Amino acid sequence: MTSKTVLLLKAADDSSSDPYFEKLHEAGISSTVIPTLEFIFVNDEILKNSLLCPENFSGIIFTSPRTVQAVHRIFDTTGFDISKWQKKMNYAVGEATSKLAASLLQLDLLGEEAGSSEELCKVISSSVDCDKFVEPFLFPCSQKSNDTILKILTESGLQVKKVICYKTESNSHMKENLERLIAEKGIPDIIVFFSPSGVEFSSKIINESLWKTKQPQCIAIGPTTEQAIKKANMNLCKVAKKPNPDSVLEAVKSLL
């Protein structure tokens, strides 16, 4: 096992094991997962009213596992007819979001290969006839959504209904967990960031409180997280090609 240590700063996975941790472990790389975010679901009524009227939409666009969970929460409480949504054109960014939507909602989705919102928009634009899709796509998202999808698709002639379905907040135990990690294992050599919010909430702690004498090498899960790391003046060294465990492993290996 390599002597270098890796810190994964990401939202907590709801499953018993984290796929990124497992992938690194299989490759003989020691890593630690520290949750950076806490999620609060909001606007349930607005989302519910949309989901109960599939005839008013061309499909759903998911950009994170949390948006899938928001829709699934409504399904659990209302039992809306998922079969009508299954006949729509539905999309998701990346492997993790696609798999979760397939598992929880039994949806067939396009876009798994897309590594960013921009790439997903290309998939959507190339797979639909804008003249035929007169109804908007339902776009559940966080309050920190940068409107990339809304802007690009609208410019392409497609309609999008944006519904903010969750908010992100800093994990209340993050600073405590980071301090414990350093005390027990020392400063990590590599940090992998999984979201712009994760960078925002942890960078001040990392830069000002904990690691004044050593700047770890940073990896971004994608282009928006890359920009957040640069903005935080951290040591960006690599961007994963895709938001999946294999690509993160490849990025980590390149820094060992």
Task: Using pLDDT thresholds of 50, 70 and 90, give the confidence band for residue 136.
Answer: very high
**Per-residue model confidence as pLDDT tens digits over 79-95:** 888 999 999 999 999 88
> How many angstroms separate the CA atoms of 37 and 149, rounded?
23
pLDDT at 209: 60
Task: Using pLDDT thresholds of 50, 70 and 90, give the confidence band for residue 144.
Answer: confident
> How many angstroms separate the CA atoms of 129 and 147, rounded?
22
Q: Does residue 1 register a pLDDT over 60?
A: no
pLDDT at 182: 84
Question: Which comes out higher in pLDDT, residue 126 or 60?
Answer: 60
| 58-67, 102-111, 209-218, 225-234, range with the lowest pLDDT | 209-218
The 3-state DSSP composition of the chain as helix, strand, coil percent (nearest 5) reads 45, 20, 35
pLDDT at 132: 72
> How many angstroms separate the CA atoms of 196 and 75, rounded?
29
What is the mean predicted confidence (pLDDT) over 222-235? 93
217 near 255, Cβ under 8 Å? Answer: yes
**Per-residue model confidence as pLDDT tens digits over 159-205:** 999 999 999 888 989 989 988 988 888 889 999 999 998 999 888 88
Q: Report helix, strand or coil for 216.
A: coil
Q: Does residue 75 register a pLDDT over 80?
A: yes
Average pLDDT of every residue of the chain: 90
Burial of 80 (0-12, 13-18, 19+ CB in 10 A): middle
Beta strands at 160-170 and 109-110: parallel, antiparallel or unpaired: unpaired
Task: Using pLDDT thresholds of 50, 70 and 90, give the confidence band for residue 62.
Answer: very high
Question: Which comes out higher in pLDDT, residue 209 or 105?
Answer: 105
pLDDT at 14: 59
The answer, as to whether pTM is greater than 0.85, is: no
Q: What percent of the chain has pLDDT over 70?
A: 94
